[in-house]
């Protein structure tokens, strides 16, 4: 295992211990509302602090981008950035739904190279490194081999912002009409991990944050899958992505409606 991944695993497990210790006492937690349907608890912050403490002890000069504490620039000339979500699925955690995880992605020279996702309630540990494959609890992962969209199970996340609904709703309709089913579990990190593990044939969502998806992108790609930004850009920049196996990714991409501006330009030609 790569040295950076070793530290990421140590940090993820430590954060998971913090989360698991409080999982049956959520009614006693201090909870803040950052935005509509976006919550943060003292456990998010405590778990993040534990992750950063472990990273800083091993790599004091590395840059960090974390959900709760924001961006911390590299202290030296390091080209490594840790992208951290201490508790992906906070709303699930607060409702005692065991679908949440710690997610740590690692960029080297602005390229995603490593990912670790840890689900503390069942102790599932997902790891991936560029060119070295993806693993779940030391078992190699491969995406699904399904080629028939009618047999595919697809995951998604419902946009929290109304401006995404005109593009999301046609995609949801296509998924409902064409596939074996659609699931919405509330943790982008675990949804991407499930694509890597072959449980889902695909997944799409709009307007996520880098810490939601960084680790999961590496997992899917190293498990033999494909991750695309919905409009062809960089998913870490826009937060909108489609992930799937190589056989069905084009079908999933075909569900994407053109942006209104693009459609208008085409009509004017």
Per-residue pLDDT of the chain (269 residues; tens, 9 = 90+): 899 999 999 999 999 999 988 777 666 555 555 444 444 568 888 899 999 999 999 999 999 999 878 878 777 778 999 999 999 998 898 888 999 999 999 999 999 999 999 999 999 999 999 999 999 998 999 999 999 999 999 999 999 889 999 999 999 999 999 999 999 999 999 999 999 999 999 999 999 999 999 999 999 999 999 999 999 999 999 999 999 999 999 999 999 998 764 444 433 44
Q: Can you give the residue ranges of every domain in the chain?
A: 3-140, 149-261
In sequence order, what DSSP letters do the residues of the chain get, joined into one string? --HHHHHHHHHHHHHHHHHHHHTT-GGGS-EEEEETTEEEEHHHHHHHHHHHHHHHHH-TT-EEEETTTEEE--SSS--EEEEEEEEETHHHHHTT-S--EEEEEEEETTEEEEEEEEETTTTEEEEEETTTEEEETTEE--------GGG-EEEE---SSGGGHHHHHHHHHHHHHHSSEEE--S-HHHHHHHHHTTS-SEEEESS--HHHHHHHHHHHHHTT-EEEETTSS-HHHH--EEEE-TTTHHHHHHTPPPPHHHHHHHHH-
pLDDT of residue 81: 96
pLDDT of residue 71: 79
Domain 3-140 has what CATH class? alpha beta
The pTM assigned to this predicted structure is 0.91
Domain 149-261 has what CATH class? alpha beta
Is it true that 3-140 and 149-261 share their CATH fold? no
């Amino acid at each position: 295992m790569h040295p950076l991944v070793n530290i990421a695993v140590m940090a993820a497990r430590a954060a998971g211990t913090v989360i698991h210790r409080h999982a049956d006492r959520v009614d006693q937690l201090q909870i803040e509302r950052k935005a509509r349907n976006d919550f943060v608890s003292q456990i998010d912050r405590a778990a993040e602090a534990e992750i950063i403490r472990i990273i800083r002890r091993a790599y004091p000069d590395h840059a960090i981008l974390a959900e709760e504490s924001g961006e911390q620039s590299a202290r030296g000339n390091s080209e490594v950035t840790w992208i951290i979500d201490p508790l992906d699925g906070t709303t699930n955690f607060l409702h005692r739904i065991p679908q949440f995880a710690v997610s740590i992605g690692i960029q080297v020279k602005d390229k995603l190279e490593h990912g670790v996702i840890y689900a503390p309630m069942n102790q599932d540990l997902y790891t991936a490194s560029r060119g070295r494959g993806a693993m779940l609890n030391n078992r190699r992962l491969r995406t699904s081999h399904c080629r028939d969209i009618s047999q595919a199970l697809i995951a998604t996340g419902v946009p929290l912002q109304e401006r995404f609904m005109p593009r999301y709703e046609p995609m949801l309709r296509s998924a409902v009409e064409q596939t074996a089913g659609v699931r919405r579990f509330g943790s982008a990190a675990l949804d991407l991990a499930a694509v890597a593990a072959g449980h889902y044939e695909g997944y799409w969502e709009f307007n996520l944050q880098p810490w939601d998806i960084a680790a999961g992108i590496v997992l899917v790609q190293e498990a033999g899958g494909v991750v695309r930004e919905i409009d062809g850009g960089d998913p870490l920049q826009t937060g909108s992505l489609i992930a799937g196996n190589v056989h069905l990714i084009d079908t999933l991409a075909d569900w994407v409606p053109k942006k209104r501006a693009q459609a208008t330009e085409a009509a004017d030609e």
